[in-house]
Amino acid sequence: MATATENPVEAISNEPEANKLFRMVMKLKGSDLHLKVGLAPSLRLSGVLRQMQMPPLTTADMERLMFPLLTARQKQILEETGGADFAHIVFDPDGLETRFRVNLFRQRGKLSLVARRISTSIPNFEGLGLPPVLGEITKADQGIIILAGVTGSGKSTTIASMLNFVNANERCHIVTIEDPIEFTFTDAKSIINQREVGIDVIDWDTALKHAVRQDPDIILVGEMRDRDTFSAALHAAETGHLVFGTIHASSAPSTISRILDLFPQDMHPAMRQNLAFNLKAVIAQKLLPTTKEWAEKTGQTRVPTCEIMRMNPTVRKLILTEEDIKLADAIRIGKEEGMQDFTESLKALVQAEKIERATAFEVAPNVEQLKMALKGITVNQPGIL
């Protein structure tokens, strides 16, 4: 269990009492804070939830701790919808800030909170363990780049790294629409304007309408969770912008069906046409615990495994002809174009001794294929054209 025997950093005067708990996350290098009535506060450390040695929280505790964090608008959203998303910033005695992405919600009539600690620095591809081909993918003139994965798979961090790569290398205008803002960027070669829904702009639709009139080269639209969001992102791509977004999907090939599920069946042929000519890449990602030796050597307790599907004539044809089942084969034979599947990624992580073999087999889409890859056996590729 995570201990709370040592006092956290002394609270800065006039700040919310809840910051003592947020500072405990910072002190123990946790990734998430979980608060629920009836349980002691919990932290996620190295991917594992651990309760702190503190008394269970009461309803009065949660209201006392949470309500001072909310603006009047956020309180209204919480009351009307049952949940509110917002960013919370905690300063250390030196004035440095740590940002948390917070979701406060009601469950069984009581308040609960989950807060994700956001790194103050934006790691580069090498620091995150990401393939350098992501930099090449950012050089597309227009289209959609999608980061796929479950919640907590590191999608936001990867997008931030990609945008910061552009920021360091290209003179362009980047507009982000976020709810809430997670990573904060410092302008380098690029100009970056970050708009937070509810603070800088009334809603997401208005923000995107403004964005296409703000001479952007790149637009970050965040999570594409419904038909309207994806349609708007697609329109922005069709009008000459490079659009970044995230979606909940388990792999690069399944991202296609996940997008189509947002639309009625009669729209699928048209959507396949749009995807074939506007989608530039899908990067699917999972976060895995590292080996003890790698964690001690580098300080990294989790590393990403990535599947990368880039648009080429083969992938385009398979999408158009509704042969999504063959996309996995297209990724495997697209290595020279910077593509890779989870098997290849997991093999590299095991061979670099970043993750345990058991961890790789646990998440591998095809365990037998991974076993053969680790033995150096090349799987014969069926014809896919």
Non-local (6+) Cβ contacts of 148 within 8 A are 155, 246, 247, 248, 249, 250, 251, 252, 254, 255, 258, 282, 283, 284, 285
Task: Take residue 190 and report the two structure tokens written for it.
Answer: 């690029």
Non-local (6+) Cβ contacts of 286 within 8 A are 149, 150, 153, 304, 305, 342, 363
At 246, the pLDDT band (50, 70, 90 cuts) reads very high
Residue of 342, 346, 367, 363 whose CA lies nearest to 355? 346
Helix (H, G, I), strand (E, B) or coil at 383: coil
Between CA 17 and CA 3 the distance in angstroms is: 19
Conformation bin of residue 177: beta by default, left when phi > 0, alpha when psi is -120 to 50: beta
At 6, the pLDDT band (50, 70, 90 cuts) reads very low
Non-local (6+) Cβ contacts of 103 within 8 A are 83, 84, 85, 113, 114, 115
Question: Model confidence over 151-189: pLDDT tens digits?
Answer: 889 999 999 999 999 999 999 999 999 888 888 899 999
| Mean pLDDT score across all residues of the chain | 91
Tell me: pLDDT of 93 over 80.
Answer: no
Between CA 49 and CA 32 the distance in angstroms is: 9
Write the CA distances from 367 to 140, 333, 346, 363, 370, integer angstroms: 34, 19, 11, 8, 5
At 382, the pLDDT band (50, 70, 90 cuts) reads low
Question: Model confidence over 273-288: pLDDT tens digits?
Answer: 999 999 999 999 999 9
Lowest mean pLDDT among 4-18, 19-33, 356-370: 4-18
Task: Take residue 104 and report the two structure tokens written for it.
Answer: 């406060």
Predicted local distance difference test score (pLDDT) of residue 1: 39
Between CA 63 and CA 112 the distance in angstroms is: 10
CB atoms within 10 A of CB 324: 16
Predicted local distance difference test score (pLDDT) of residue 282: 98
Non-local (6+) Cβ contacts of 380 within 8 A are none
Predicted local distance difference test score (pLDDT) of residue 96: 76
Domains detected in the chain: 19-118 (3.30.450.90), 125-374 (3.40.50.300)
Between CA 223 and CA 20 the distance in angstroms is: 30
- With the C-alpha atoms ordered 185, 190, 196, 197, is the resulting torsion angle positive or negative? negative
CB atoms within 10 A of CB 181: 20
Q: What is the pTM of this model?
A: 0.80
Question: Model confidence over 301-329: pLDDT tens digits?
Answer: 899 999 999 999 999 999 999 999 999 99
Tell me: pLDDT of 354 over 50.
Answer: yes
At 78, the pLDDT band (50, 70, 90 cuts) reads very high
Question: Model confidence over 189-239: pLDDT tens digits?
Answer: 999 999 988 889 988 888 988 998 999 999 999 888 889 889 989 999 999
Predicted local distance difference test score (pLDDT) of residue 289: 93
Q: Which residue has the tokens 């053969």?
A: 372
Rg (CA), the chain: 22
